[in-house]
Amino acid sequence: MTLSAARRINCKCIDYPTDETARIFNIQRYSLNDGQGIRTVIFFKGCPHRCPWCANPESISGSIETVRREKKCLHRAVCLNDVDECPSGALARIGRDVTLDGLEKEALKDDIFFRSSSGGVTLSGGEVLMQAEFATRFLARLRRLGINTAIETAGDASAARLLPLARQCDDVLFDLKIMDEKQSKEVLHINLPRVLKNMRLLVANGIHVIPRIPLIPGYTMTRENMCRVLDVLAPLAIDELHLLPFHPYGEPKYSLLDRPWQMKGIPAPDESDIAPLRLMAESAGYRIKVGG
């Protein structure tokens, strides 16, 4: 496939080399979050959204990036500026391309943990829908091997991309963020009506959806936003919600990438901030997990 064809398919001008190959930036093993049991979470690179609170800013660009960790740098007079030649590891590449076979092999290293804990593999990001064709084929392989599968997504893509992928999932961890249509568009570049339509579509197709609501001071952490979430969910067959409180742990990565951290000085909410919103959701009959 030519580069221009890849760009057209992925819509967002990301230079993914082919649709036989995915671009990822991390594989996190032994995770107790993002699905049931012990999980291997694969983080896909590239995201069309711009959440000011994003904890993974290295996920946003679909390109492979190079960063310099100043503390590790030997400050040699002549720096070749080449990751492979850097003797101290100060230069690092963020992102790599993987094939279906290669990624399956990497995931299966943890098979024993999946079997012993009813765990499995979660595809996260970034936004996995930007590489939906690869992800669908990959999860189909895992399912044939009896491995539990999940994705985490903002759900903002055509149904033609989302539904086949969701059909390969035991759980779809479906983010609901800013519930005001205009603000969602302006701040997150998210088409909220499409997201909500997609969520209804998945539930109508019998797919197990777990909505996740990031609790972000100044954006989503209001009674009004939670009311809107609960209104949307009320007619749907959904029994569990995840609340994801804001944390600033991603901040150092912003300076590494030379990007502004828009949440500067905003502390993580404490239990007393979270409790009223949790109570609202519990009172509406949902099983709540804080953290995900």
Contacts to ligand SF4 from residues 163-182, by CB under 6 A: none
Selected binder of ligand SF4 within 14, 38, 42, 47 (CB under 6 A): 47
Binding segment toward ligand SF4, per CB under 6 A, in 42-50, 194-202, 226-234, 254-262: 42-50
Total residues contacting ligand SF4 by CB under 6 A comes to 12
125 binds ligand SF4 (CB under 6 A): yes
- Cβ atoms of 42 and 121 within 8 Å: the answer is yes
Selected binder of ligand SF4 within 119, 126, 211, 245 (CB under 6 A): 126
56 binds ligand SF4 (CB under 6 A): yes
Q: In the bound complex, what is the minimum distance in angstroms from residue 52's beta carbon to ligand SF4?
A: 9
Contacts to ligand SF4 from residues 65-104, by CB under 6 A: none
- Cβ atoms of 106 and 123 within 8 Å: the answer is no
Selected binder of ligand SF4 within 127, 155, 171, 178 (CB under 6 A): 127
Binding segment toward ligand SF4, per CB under 6 A, in 48-56, 66-74, 159-167, 197-205: 48-56
Residues that bind ligand SF4 (CB under 6 A): 47, 49-51, 54, 56, 59-60, 125-127, 154
